[in-house]
């Protein structure tokens, strides 16, 4: 199989992430630096950053509540990296990021194909957030947001949004794309200062009462529904 698919099966990366690692020269096959499109099988010794890797057996699917201050990176050079914070005994990685000062639900898995499916930019996969701001939430602002918001620094408009006011300082917002710091950009345009940003749902997965820094295994039904919603079986 192609080396990027092999690395995804090992649970280290999505296929896109694997391609980036290969292009950066971090991957070797039998001691030789891998190239995009290189083929491997069970007889080859594949290493990433000098560490041998092999495909996992039964796939792992976790819901994790990322605390504020934790960085979505697998690099151990970052002392507050998400992998050490999770402290799971087997190798997994994350599907989608939250910025350092955001918190909430993360999907952690060693299923690289599912990560690719969930992260597909062309698909509409809902992610829901609870936003707390220092000012008063104005209903008219939320209604205006729902039509999509033009982001001048990026020169583009967001997809249409769904919003719901909770109280004077909190509202829910549902996104269907992965623009970097999208909610923070939107709130800045409307003059809101965010004091807390928490992701509470990814597609069919709910954060619920999971405490910060804790994880739980997904049920078979949750995984089945997630794969169906992501269209993984059709890729």
As annotated, the active-site residues are 99
Sign of the CA dihedral 47, 112, 218, 195? positive
Angle, CA of 72, 73 and 78, to the nearest 5°:
110
Do the Cβ atoms of 86 and 59 come closer than 8 Å?
A: no
Do the Cβ atoms of 109 and 93 come closer than 8 Å?
A: yes
Q: Hey, which residues does 199 pair with through a beta bridge? A: 104, 129
Q: Which of 3, 172, 12 is nearest to 92 (CA)?
A: 12
Task: Kindly state the tokens that stand for 142.
Answer: 């939320």
Task: Kindly state the tokens that stand for 183.
Answer: 């909610």
Q: Give dist(CA 230, CA 122) in Å, integer.
A: 11
Burial class (CB within 10 angstroms; exposed 0-12, middle 13-18, buried 19+) of 13: buried
Q: Which of 127, 110, 121 is nearest to 14 (CA)?
A: 110
Q: Give dist(CA 111, CA 113) in Å, integer.
A: 6
């Amino acid at each position: 199989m192609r080396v990027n698919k092999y690395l995804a099966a090992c649970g280290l990366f999505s296929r896109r992430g694997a391609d980036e690692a290969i292009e950066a020269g971090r991957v070797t096959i039998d001691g030789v630096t891998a190239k995009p499109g290189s083929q491997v099988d069970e007889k080859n010794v594949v290493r990433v950053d000098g560490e041998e890797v092999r495909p996992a057996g039964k796939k792992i699917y976790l819901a994790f509540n990322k605390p504020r201050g934790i960085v979505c990176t697998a690099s151990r050079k970052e002392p507050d990296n998400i992998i050490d914070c999770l402290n799971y005994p087997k190798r997994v990685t994350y599907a989608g990021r939250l910025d350092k000062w955001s918190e909430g639900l993360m999907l952690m898995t060693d299923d690289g194909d599912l990560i690719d499916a969930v992260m597909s930019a062309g698909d509409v996969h809902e992610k829901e957030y609870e936003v707390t701001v220092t000012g008063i939430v104005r209903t008219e602002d939320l209604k205006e947001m729902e039509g999509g918001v033009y982001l001048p620094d990026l020169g583009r408009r967001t997809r249409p949004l769904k919003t719901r006011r909770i109280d004077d300082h909190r509202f829910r917002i549902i996104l269907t794309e992965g623009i970097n710091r999208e909610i923070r950009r939107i709130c800045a345009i409307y003059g809101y200062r965010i004091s807390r940003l928490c992701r509470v749902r990814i597609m069919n997965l709910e954060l619920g009462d999971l405490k910060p820094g804790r994880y739980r295994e997904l049920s078979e039904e949750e995984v089945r529904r997630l794969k169906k919603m992501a269209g993984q079986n059709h890729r």
